[in-house]
Chain A
């Protein structure tokens, strides 16, 4: 009986050995861990993964990507604690909820790990937790700028398709857009969920019951792709004013076809790439840029789409 258990244990050890060994014995250089708040289902973060992988390759450092599988921010706090315990040179993390994440991040900083905040959060919050800098796009400002742009083109009401409503930054985008337009957000934001079929049907249902809607704002490929399908189905494609945050294959296609008026590019590649470069140079030569880095917003329209098209979903 004990012999059997032993046999099973040895078999398991041998079976898992090559896979584990392959991932632990990497480059000799510095080690950086990027922690995001995105659930596995959010495809947009692929650009981030490619960004740190490229930076790791170019700078000859070891990089890792970690995220809570379901997007549960309490789980993310544990991942940050875990990352700090494994003793890396630096942690690059999003700060999507200050209450939950500030404690673990500050503990990491205090235990000697340098931190750069990327993507979510604000420059002020980054300074408060003791991070080196903030690299990202101020969400409210980006939404506001988009709102002003849409207001200039005659938009008076809109639908915000929010696919990650549990993150405060998503609401800030919609709120900023509403304030830019000069209207109340009210019930114009819907919780669409993450499932493409559900998103499509909710958008169709909203547009059916609110036919006077002037514009649609989606918050990323997850909500934009099904919305494109919805508009094709109800014949509003190209008719209704359509703006979106972030880019992806279908969004770029939509901009080219004239269905989407613009996409706000926060250039996630830079958010992942630059912190690795900045920290490596800081740890090797002690040089550090003197300010936060705004990676966006940049408006992408039908003009000048060639590079965007080529790298959409990969580096753009």
Chain B
């Protein structure tokens, strides 16, 4: 029996159990972190309204926001680059939609499409500058952080003499494309849940009797959709392998025929796309664009990605992990409010928990893979 075994197996291939194979994945740390975070908040904030329908919707939306930008940041980071202009891109994209619809009075669908084209083109430009000059993407996108934020403050000041442009919701009414970003789905289901007393309803006002949560916002649908698409591209396609190769060792990848520059530029464009999705959802929900929208969001995206197990040096990571990182970040951020943590200490807790999550993640990865 043992002889037959040695004859069949190749001594260069290491035997690993099925369980071990299932566990060696970048998102394992994220999964553990998610379980721990939920357990902690169930203990400390279980009766504070965090887990009623309004509370769940609250942290789900915040997590979904992080998720949308984290997917783009994650794939770009795996390809070995950074984008620090995500936050400014969010402000810029929102402001462009506002200027197109309110000042130029374009139909909303046209404003959205032109904004997407413009922002993806800016993403391509920063990607092109990075691969052409060989400068660190950190510096190039830092420049775009200032350039885009500057325009976001200057343009509305110049055109409307204000820094917040409102009135987009009126223009967006009945628009076919606006509903794809600002609408809600499963309204009937939530109405039914409300009618049957499963979730709370409004007690007074014009909406009395309506459920407090009246549907799943498209923001969440976009987040889940982007995670699925991103994960599929990354692990199931040849292009996904190229992304890993470009971030792992760009020169080696070039020798094997991977179009590294094209991959990187496309990832910059995808990151810009994700930022624009975020901005469009926000503008359609609130009906206005402001010059201060999206401040520091680039760091929140990077934090979510790192919690999710990606390496800052590129070549390693997972979209599912980044999504879990976004979930952890969102739940912790909103959960601390629910747990009643003193507001001036809020950031101390946030920092400690994030640090803990990353350390745990790294430790688990080393323990299992035995590498690095």
A→B interface (CB under 8 Å) = 1, 4-5, 8-9, 12-13, 16, 19-21, 23-24, 26, 40, 64-67, 69-74, 77-79, 81-87, 97-100, 103, 106-107, 109-112, 130, 165-168, 171, 185, 191
Report the bound CA distance from A69 to B337 in whole Å: 13
> Do A82 and B55 have beta carbons less than 8 Å apart?
yes
Closest approach, in angstroms, between the C-beta of B232 and any C-beta of chain A?
29
Binds A, one of B124-132, B262-270, B281-289, B306-314: B281-289
5 contacting pairs across A/B (C-beta < 8 A): A20-B44, A77-B286, A78-B61, A165-B291, A166-B153
Report the bound CA distance from A5 to B58 in whole Å: 29
Given the interface pairs A5-B364, A85-B49, A130-B205, the reply to whether A99 lies near B286 with Cβ below 8 Å is: yes
Report the bound CA distance from A99 to B98 in whole Å: 13
Q: B35 — nearest CB in chain A belongs to which residue?
A: A9
A-B pairs under 8 A by CB, number: 155
Given the interface pairs A4-B367, A77-B286, the reply to whether A85 lies near B341 with Cβ below 8 Å is: no
Which of these, A78, A97, A98, A99, contacts B58 with CB under 8 Å?
A78
Given the interface pairs A12-B40, A165-B163, the reply to whether A82 lies near B343 with Cβ below 8 Å is: no
Report the bound CA distance from A281 to B325 in whole Å: 44
Query: Which B residues are in CB contact (< 8 Å) with A40?
Result: 347
Query: Which A residues are in CB contact (< 8 Å) with B338?
Result: 82, 85-86
- Indicate if B169 sits at the interface (CB-CB under 8 A): yes
Which of these, B202, B286, B293, B360, contacts A110 with CB under 8 Å?
B202
- Indicate if B334 sits at the interface (CB-CB under 8 A): yes
Report the bound CA distance from A167 to B293 in whole Å: 11
Given the interface pairs A78-B334, A85-B54, A165-B291, the reply to whether A1 lies near B367 with Cβ below 8 Å is: yes
- Indicate if B294 sits at the interface (CB-CB under 8 A): yes
Report the bound CA distance from A99 to B55 in whole Å: 22
Closest approach, in angstroms, between the C-beta of B177 and any C-beta of chain A?
20
Closest approach, in angstroms, between the C-beta of A40 and any C-beta of chain B?
8
Q: A70-B295, A85-B49, A85-B338 are in contact. List 19 more A-B contacts (CB 8 A).
A: A5-B32, A5-B364, A13-B43, A16-B40, A19-B345, A23-B341, A24-B45, A72-B293, A72-B295, A87-B49, A97-B288, A99-B169, A100-B290, A110-B207, A111-B202, A111-B212, A166-B164, A166-B292, A167-B164
Closest approach, in angstroms, between the C-beta of A8 and any C-beta of chain B?
6
Which of these, B205, B288, B292, B360, contacts A99 with CB under 8 Å?
B288
Which of these, A24, A78, A106, contacts B339 with CB under 8 Å?
A24
Report the bound CA distance from A65 to B131 in whole Å: 47
- Indicate if B198 sits at the interface (CB-CB under 8 A): no
- Indicate if B236 sits at the interface (CB-CB under 8 A): no
Report the bound CA distance from A102 to B62 in whole Å: 19
> Do A86 and B212 have beta carbons less than 8 Å apart?
no
Secondary structure dominating the interface of A: helix
- Indicate if B372 sits at the interface (CB-CB under 8 A): no
> Do B44 and A24 have beta carbons less than 8 Å apart?
yes
Which of these, B52, B204, B342, contacts A85 with CB under 8 Å?
B52
> Do A111 and B200 have beta carbons less than 8 Å apart?
yes
> Do A78 and B295 have beta carbons less than 8 Å apart?
no
> Do B161 and A171 have beta carbons less than 8 Å apart?
yes
Which of these, A12, A19, A86, contacts B55 with CB under 8 Å?
A86
> Do A12 and B162 have beta carbons less than 8 Å apart?
no
Query: Which B residues are in CB contact (< 8 Å) with A24?
Result: 44-45, 48, 339-340
Report the bound CA distance from A185 to B287 in whole Å: 27
Report the bound CA distance from A82 to B297 in whole Å: 20
> Do B166 and A98 have beta carbons less than 8 Å apart?
yes
Query: Which A residues are in CB contact (< 8 Å) with B61?
Result: 78
Question: For chain B residues 321-372, which have a beta carbon within 8 Å of chain A?
Answer: 334, 337-343, 345-347, 349, 356, 360, 364, 367-368
> Do B153 and A110 have beta carbons less than 8 Å apart?
no
Question: For chain B residues 5-63, which have a beta carbon within 8 Å of chain A?
Answer: 32, 36, 39-40, 43-45, 48-50, 52, 54-55, 57-59, 61-62
